[in-house]
C-alpha cells in the first residue's frame, strides 16, 4: 500500500505505509477483533489493523493530507453534535499559538457505554487516533480525559500509554487526566475549565476552546470515538470510509442499545441501518416496547409504534424530532411506568445543573417537581400547561445546553406519554410505579464499567 501524495489520487490513497491488512468492506470496523475479555494488546492491535502511523515528525504534507482525507471522508464528531472533524482541525491548526489536543472519554451520559468500551477494549486504536490528530494540527501534546469514576478505563489507557512509551520515536506525549463526574462536566468548555485548574463547569463567554482553551492555546476537543475513526481513515482512506453509511452521514458509528433486549450493549452500525436490524442483532426485544429514547437524557422520545419504520440516521429521525446524539438508543418496556421513569430522570437532570444560571436551577427543579406531583396524583390545576410554560421559560436561558436538553426530554415525554400522564394526574400512582426503575442512572458508589 503506497503512501503516495500523487496529485491525481491523493484523495484516495491512505496515509500510512506498512502492512495494513485488506480493509473491512463491512462491519465491524472499530470493533474488529475486539477480545471477549480485557483490552486488545498492542500486538493484537497491530495484527488486526496494521502498523502504527509513521512517526516522521516534520512531515507537514502528510499532516495536511490527513485533514483532507478526513474532510473527504465526511467524518463528523461522535460526541453528539456531529460537527465536521476536518473543519474543526483546520480552525484549531490556524489558531494563534501551538495547538493542543483534548480527547473526551468522560461519557457523562448514563445510558451511554460506547466510550468506556473503546477505552477498555481498544485503547491502542484510540491512542493511534489521538497521535494522528495531534500531528495533523501541529500539536505536540494531547490530553485524554477519563471520568474519575472509570477505574478500569483509566487503567487500560494508562497501560496502553506505557506500552507506547517503550516504542522508539513515538510521539506526541499523551497525558491521562481524570475529570470530575457529572452530566455537564463533559461539555467542551467544562473540560477545558477543569484542565486549566478551574471547576468542571461550562461557560459561554468567549473565547471558545478552538481559539483559546487549555493554557490559552488553540484546543481541539473531540469525543474519543471520533479519533478512533481517524485512526482507521488514515489507514484505509476516505473512499473506504464512505463504503458504509449515507452520503450525508457517512461511515459507521457505535451505539449503546439498552432496555428489554436479549443482548443489550454497544454495537457498531452503519448510518442508515434500520432499527429493526439492530434489534435483531441484539437478539430481539424481550417485552413489547412502549417507546424508544434517542440521544440520551437530553434527547427525544419516540413512540414504540414507530419502531418497525425507524432508521438510524439523523435525517431519518428528524421528522420525529429526534437525532442519534452520541449513539444512545434506549428502549422502555411496556411494563414500566413512563411517568415515574420520566419524573425520576428529570429530578436527576435537575440535580446535575452546574448551578450557575437561575433559570436552570429553578426551572429544572420546578419541572421535576411538577412531574413528581403528576405521578403521585397531587398535581394542582393543569400540570401539563405548567410543564409547557416552564419548558418555554427555561429553554436557551442557561450558559450551556443542559436546560435545553432537559426540556427536549420532558416535552417529548409529555407528547409520547400524554395518556399515562393524564391518567396519573387524575388517579395518582399506578401499579407499575412501584417497579424497579428501568432507565439507568449512575449510583455514586460504584465505578462504572462496561459489562
Partner 1 sequence: MCAELLPERIALDEWGYPILDERPLPTELVSHAQRAAQACPTFALLVERKRD
- The interface with partner 1 within residues 317-376 (CB under 8 A) comprises 357-359, 362-363
* Grid cell of 374 as nine digits: 403528576
Instruction: Return the closest-CA partner of residue 316 out of 288, 285, 278, 275.
Output: 275
What is the per-residue binding string for partner 1 in 142-181, x denoting contact by CB under 8 A?
A: ----------------------------------------
Cα dist. 175→67, 140, 298, 303, 324 in Å?
A: 23, 11, 30, 44, 30
In this complex, which beta carbon is closest to partner 1, that of residue 35 or of residue 358?
358
In this complex, which beta carbon is closest to partner 1, that of residue 281 or of residue 393?
393
Question: Which letter, b or e, does each residue of 279-288 get, where b requires 16 or more Cβ atoms within 10 Å of its Cβ?
Answer: bebbeebeee
Q: Give the shortest CB-399-to-partner 1 separation in angstroms.
A: 8
Answer left, alpha or beta for residue 296, where phi above 0 means left and psi between -120 and 50 means alpha: left
In this complex, which beta carbon is closest to partner 1, that of residue 306 or of residue 395?
395
Q: Give the shortest CB-198-to-partner 1 separation in angstroms.
A: 16
Instruction: Return the closest-CA partner of residue 245 out of 84, 80, 48, 25.
Output: 25
* Grid cell of 312 as nine digits: 438510524
Q: Give the shortest CB-274-to-partner 1 separation in angstroms.
A: 41
In this complex, which beta carbon is closest to partner 1, that of residue 393 or of residue 433?
393
Q: Strands, DSSP E only, in 218-368?
A: 219-223, 252-258, 265-270, 289-294, 300-303, 328-333
Q: Give the shortest CB-60-to-partner 1 separation in angstroms.
A: 34
- The reply to whether 397 sits near partner 1 by the rule CB under 8 A is yes
Tell me how many residues contact partner 1 (CB under 8 A): 7
Q: Give the shortest CB-357-to-partner 1 separation in angstroms.
A: 8
DSSP H stretches of helix in 261-357:
275-281, 314-317, 338-351
- Alpha carbon 418 to its chain's center: 29
In this complex, which beta carbon is closest to partner 1, that of residue 83 or of residue 204?
204
Q: Give the shortest CB-62-to-partner 1 separation in angstroms.
A: 38
In this complex, which beta carbon is closest to partner 1, that of residue 278 or of residue 393?
393
What is the per-residue binding string for partner 1 in 288-317, x denoting contact by CB under 8 A?
A: ------------------------------
Residue ranges in contact with partner 1 by CB under 8 A: 357-359, 362-363, 393, 397
Amino acid at each position: 500500500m503506497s503512501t503516495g501524495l500523487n496529485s491525481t489520487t491523493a484523495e484516495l490513497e491512505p496515509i500510512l505505509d506498512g502492512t495494513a491488512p485488506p480493509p473491512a468492506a463491512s462491519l465491524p470496523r472499530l470493533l474488529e477483533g475486539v477480545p471477549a475479555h480485557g483490552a486488545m494488546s498492542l500486538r493484537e492491535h497491530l495484527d488486526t489493523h496494521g502498523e502504527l502511523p509513521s512517526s516522521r515528525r516534520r512531515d507537514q504534507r502528510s499532516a495536511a493530507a490527513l485533514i483532507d482525507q478526513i474532510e473527504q471522508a465526511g467524518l463528523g464528531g461522535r460526541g453528539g453534535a456531529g460537527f465536521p472533524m476536518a473543519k474543526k482541525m483546520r480552525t484549531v491548526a490556524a489558531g494563534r499559538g501551538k495547538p493542543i489536543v483534548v480527547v473526551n472519554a468522560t461519557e457523562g451520559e448514563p445510558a451511554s457505554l460506547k466510550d468506556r468500551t473503546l477505552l477498555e477494549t481498544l485503547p491502542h486504536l484510540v491512542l493511534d487516533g489521538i497521535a494522528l490528530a495531534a500531528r495533523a494540527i501541529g500539536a505536540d501534546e494531547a490530553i485524554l480525559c477519563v471520568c474519575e469514576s472509570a477505574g478500569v478505563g483509566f487503567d487500560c489507557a494508562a497501560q496502553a500509554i506505557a506500552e507506547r512509551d517503550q516504542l522508539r520515536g513515538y510521539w506526541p506525549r499523551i497525558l491521562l487526566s481524570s475529570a470530575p463526574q457529572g452530566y455537564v462536566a463533559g461539555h467542551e468548555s467544562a473540560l477545558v475549565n477543569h484542565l486549566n485548574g478551574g471547576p468542571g463547569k461550562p461557560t459561554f463567554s468567549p473565547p471558545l476552546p478552538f481559539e483559546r482553551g487549555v493554557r490559552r492555546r488553540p484546543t481541539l476537543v473531540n469525543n474519543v470515538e471520533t479519533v478512533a475513526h481517524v485512526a482507521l481513515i488514515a489507514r484505509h482512506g476516505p473512499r473506504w470510509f464512505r463504503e458504509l453509511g449515507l452520503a450525508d452521514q457517512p461511515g459507521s458509528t457505535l451505539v449503546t442499545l439498552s432496555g428489554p433486549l436479549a443482548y443489550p450493549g454497544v454495537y457498531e452500525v452503519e448510518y442508515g441501518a434500520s432499527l429493526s436490524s439492530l434489534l435483531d442483532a441484539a437478539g430481539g426485544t424481550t417485552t413489547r416496547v412502549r417507546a424508544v429514547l434517542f440521544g440520551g437524557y437530553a434527547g427525544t422520545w419516540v413512540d414504540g409504534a414507530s419502531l418497525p419504520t425507524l432508521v438510524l440516521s439523523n435525517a431519518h429521525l428528524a421528522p420525529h424530532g429526534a437525532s442519534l446524539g452520541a449513539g444512545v438508543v434506549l428502549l422502555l418496556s411496556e411494563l414500566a411506568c413512563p411517568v415515574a421513569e420520566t419524573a425520576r430522570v428529570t429530578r436527576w437532570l435537575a440535580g446535575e445543573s452546574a448551578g450557575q444560571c437561575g433559570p436552570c436551577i429553578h426551572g429544572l427543579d420546578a419541572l421535576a417537581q411538577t412531574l413528581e406531583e403528576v405521578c403521585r396524583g397531587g398535581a394542582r390545576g393543569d400540570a401539563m400547561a405548567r410543564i409547557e410554560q416552564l419548558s418555554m421559560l427555561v429553554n436557551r436561558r442557561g450558559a450551556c445546553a443542559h436546560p435545553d436538553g432537559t426540556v427536549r426530554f420532558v416535552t417529548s415525554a409529555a407528547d409520547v406519554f400524554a395518556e399515562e400522564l393524564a391518567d396519573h394526574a387524575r388517579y395518582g400512582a399506578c401499579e407499575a410505579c412501584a417497579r424497579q426503575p428501568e432507565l439507568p442512572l449512575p449510583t455514586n458508589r460504584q465505578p462504572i464499567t462496561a459489562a
